[in-house]
Every structure is written in C-alpha cells, then in structure tokens.
Amino acid sequence: MKKISLLALTLSAGIGVNAGPGPVTGIEVKVTPGGNGVAFFNRQDTRPGDFRNEVILLNTSKPLTTITRTLPATRQICYFNNVATLVNSGDQVKMSLSLKSPGIYDVIWNGPSAVRNKLPYLIDSIYHQSGNPESIAAADEFISHSQQQVQQMIAKAKITDAENLAILKAFEQTRQLLVKHALLTKYPSLLPRKEYGSWCNRSIDIMSAGFSGLGDNNVIRQAAMLWWTGRKLEDSTLTTMSKLYEILHGSQSTYMKEVIGEEAFVMEARGSYFSGDLRHMYPLLQARLTPGTPCMKKIDSLYNAYSQLAPGKPAYDFALLNSEGKIVRLSDFRGKVVIIDFWATWCSGCIAALPVYHKARDMYKDKSDIVFLTVAWEGEGSEPFWKETSVKHGIDGVNNLFVPSDSKNPLIVPIRDRYCLTSVPRWVAIGTDGNFLNGWLGYPTDADFLQHVDNCYKMNSMKN
C-alpha cells in the first residue's frame, strides 16, 4: 500500500490588504516521504504585483524534510498545493496535510487562529460539492445554500474585521464564478447570450479590494477571465482595451489592476507587436499603476523592446547565411521595400502559409523596387532539414535565410531582440530607407493580409 504523504507546516504570519507594522512571516514545513514537492503560492512583498509561485522539491530519501521560508506582514490567503489558508499579522499557524488522492488532502489546523485560518479551505470544500447543476435554478439554489453555510461559518468564527471579510468574499466569489461557468460550458443555450452573461456576473463584485488578499495571481487572473466572459456575452462589441479600461478605472484592488494590466500588455505585445493597441495601453497603464513595481518594470521593458518596431524606426541590419551559403545583409537591399517572412520548418502554420508567400511575391514579380525574403527560425544543427524543406516548398535560393533560434552568438542575438522574434509566422515590412513600415503585417491566413502588404508598398512610394 502506498504511504500517504504528510506535511506538517508551521506558519507565523501577518497580512493585510494595506500592509502595516507586524512580524515578518516565517514558515517551517516538515514533510514525510510520499510526495515529490509542495507548491507554495503567496504574496511575497507589500508592493503591488509581487507574487511568489514556488515549487519546493522534497528529498524523498530522507525520513523528514524541513523547509523554511519568510513572508511579509500582510493579510492574505496563502496556497499550499490546493489548500487555501487565511493568515493575519501575528498568527502562529500549524497545519498538517494528509494526501488522500492526487490533489485531494485531509487538513488539520491547530493553534489560536485555526478557526479563521481554515475558512478559505472550508469555503472551497463547500463549493466543490456543486454536483454539476444542470439548470439555472439548480445553480442558483446551490449557490444560495452555499452562501448561507459560509455566512454561518464566518459568524461562528467571529470574523468581524472588514479586510478579512472582504478577502473571504472575494475568494468565495471566485468559487461561484467557477460553478456558473461550468454550467455555461455544459449548457451554452440555456439562456440568450446577453441574459446568460448577466446571470454569470450577478452578485459578483470583481472590483472589490478583497482581491488584493488572494496570494495566487493565477486565481485573480482566472476570476477576471470568467467575469469578462460574462461581460462579453452581455456585449459582444467589447474589446481587450475595454476590459483593461474597466479594471484599471473601476477596481479597488491594486493587485487586480497589476495582474490584469500586465497580462493584457504581454498578450498584446506578443500577439500584435507594435501594430495594435500597445501604444494606447502603455500611457493608460502608466497613469493607473504604481511606478517601480515588478509589474510596471516588466511593462516598461516590453514597451521599450517592442517600440523598436514602430514605423520609421531603423530595422536592424542583420547578416545571415542563405541556402547557398552566402552572407546576406539587410543593407544589401537598400533602395527596395523588403518584405520578410519569418517562419520555421517545425511550424505547421508557417508551412501551410508558404503558398501565400508565393502569391505575394508573384504579385510584384515585375517590380524592381521590392524584394521578398524568407528567414527560417531554427534550432542549431537543423540546416540540412531546412534546406530540404525549402527545396520542397520552392523557396530555396539567394533570398532564403537561416537564423538559429537557440544561438548565443552575439551576431545572432540582436536579430531576435531587435525584431522581437518570439513566435512565427511573422511578417514585417521595411522601407527603402531601411526603416520599418510595419513590424507586424498580421497572419498570412487573414483575408486582408495581401492588402496589408500592398499598403506598405504604396505607402513607401508616397514617401518618396
């Protein structure tokens, strides 16, 4: 019989949505053999957006492993694997977790604050008993009954502190959203879209300051995603910018604004580079988020990187080998519009889009002031397969280039950095002066893709 994993955790902590003076949090974890590690999620500091998502590996060869960590003095819900625990400044929390089955634990709390500490775990347990309701009425009845149980537990625990109550309410609402969206996923036609969206978000206060007390940014991100699914059902015209604007201007939780702001910015940067909403997002985030936080530093760094692709900025003058073994430089084509298709042999979408490359190139076969290049983004050592694939798809020749994706070569790294090469397929347009016309032409499968190419060509002609 497999031995049950037992975790004995001792946590001394102080937590608040607004941090105040208090003891530094200390955590001591004693683990018996039976598991490989402990996932630990918490707010690491009192600064916005500073979360720690850590997997603590265990030494299973020893009869007992002791792990110690420190945390700040703030109120928050910490997560040990899937066990949520509410801790306050000065708490001396003692927990033991017994693994029943993968992801499922029996938990015992001891100590003077145990009644409060275990409330999130009990709330989670109540909402996990939803039984997958099959109607709106059944889901409403389950949620109403669960809310009554939660209120009785909170009253019995004598929780009166406003911040603790706000954190617990935000946590409970993340569970309610999961119940509602499980029903939406299983039965998408129970209600018209608009009414379904209104029902999903009914009684949900996604703007609550209590979300700052959730120590796992993934939980905050998931809650916002489910809430936004409901909002989109209510109004299909809403955009990512709409979501960002609503959160940044409406949320009372600094952490919610940090998490969603960073997520939206990263997704926009990697999805549309500098051709979409990035330039509009940045001043909005600057105005609503705290300067110097880990989140804002990341946003600043990304903006500086992707702004290199703005129209009029100089394109990096690379020097790459073509499939004939000769060095080709971007500057070799000065005086011509350069259209580059960054692709890869391992990218099925890139291979499927190569006919679009041929079509685009053929559109200008009689023009001497435009050239098309393919640049394969490949692992080192894959040159033979690249050449073979290039011949197979008719793109071999002097304008078929190769860039190693994992190279540390100082001549190669700037290409990835200056072109923000994070995914393929990726098409860019460079003008006759060597400056960007467009750092992201869109996906080759887009209906208006070839029009984007032609617009760049015409735009360059108008400049001259």
Please, which contacts does 132-138 make with residues 24 or more away whose CB atoms are closer than 8 Å?
132/182, 132/183, 132/186, 133/179, 133/183, 134/183, 134/186, 134/187, 135/183, 135/187, 135/190, 136/183, 136/190, 136/191, 136/199
Q: Which residue has the tokens 């050449």?
A: 387
pLDDT in tens, 294-305: 889 999 999 999
Comparing 58 with 169, the larger pLDDT belongs to 169
pLDDT in tens, 180-201: 999 999 999 999 999 999 999 9
Count other C-beta atoms under 10 Å from residue 98's C-beta: 15
Residue 434, pLDDT above cutoff 60: yes
Residue 43, pLDDT above cutoff 50: yes
Residue 7, pLDDT above cutoff 60: no
pLDDT in tens, 397-432: 999 999 987 767 777 888 988 999 888 999 999 999
Q: Give the predicted TM-score (pTM) of the model.
A: 0.83
At residue 369's C-alpha, the angle toward residues 366 and 373, to 5°, is 90
Kindly compute the dihedral angle of the four CA atoms of residues 135, 140, 143, 144, in this order, to the nearest 10 degrees.
-150
Identify the pLDDT of residue 2: 33
Residue 19, pLDDT above cutoff 60: no
- Ranking 103-107, 386-390, 451-455 by mean pLDDT, the lowest is 103-107
CA distance linking residue 444 with residue 431, whole number of Å: 20
Residue 48, pLDDT above cutoff 60: no
Q: Which tokens go with 342? A: 């960054």
Identify the pLDDT of residue 10: 47
DSSP 8-class letter at 316: P
Average pLDDT over residues 118-122: 95
Identify the pLDDT of residue 183: 94
Residue 69, pLDDT above cutoff 90: no
Q: Where are the beta strands (DSSP E) in 74-130?
A: 76-80, 83-87, 91-101, 104-110
Identify the pLDDT of residue 92: 78
pLDDT band at 438 (very low <50, low <70, confident <90, very high): very high
Identify the pLDDT of residue 136: 95
pLDDT in tens, 356-382: 999 999 999 999 999 999 999 998 788
CA distance linking residue 236 with residue 196, whole number of Å: 13
Residue 179, pLDDT above cutoff 60: yes
CA distance linking residue 313 with residue 349, whole number of Å: 29
Average pLDDT over residues 202-217: 95
Count other C-beta atoms under 10 Å from residue 30's C-beta: 14
Answer for the pair 411, 319: CB distance below 8 angstroms, yes or no: yes
425 prior amide bond cis, ω within 30: yes
Answer for the pair 65, 30: CB distance below 8 angstroms, yes or no: yes
Cα distances (angstroms) measured from residue 51 to each of 84, 215, 268, 293: 15, 7, 22, 11
pLDDT band at 5 (very low <50, low <70, confident <90, very high): very low
Q: Which of 355, 357, 344, 421 is nearest to 389 (CA)?
A: 344
Q: Which tokens go with 146? A: 């669960």
132: CB partners within 8 A, 6+ apart: 182, 183, 186
Identify the pLDDT of residue 6: 42
Coil, strand or helix at 58: coil
Residue 306, pLDDT above cutoff 60: yes
Identify the pLDDT of residue 18: 43
Answer for the pair 298, 262: CB distance below 8 angstroms, yes or no: yes
Phi then psi for 339, rounded to 5 degrees? -105, 120
Residue 3, pLDDT above cutoff 50: no
Comparing 100 with 367, the larger pLDDT belongs to 367
Residue 462, pLDDT above cutoff 90: no
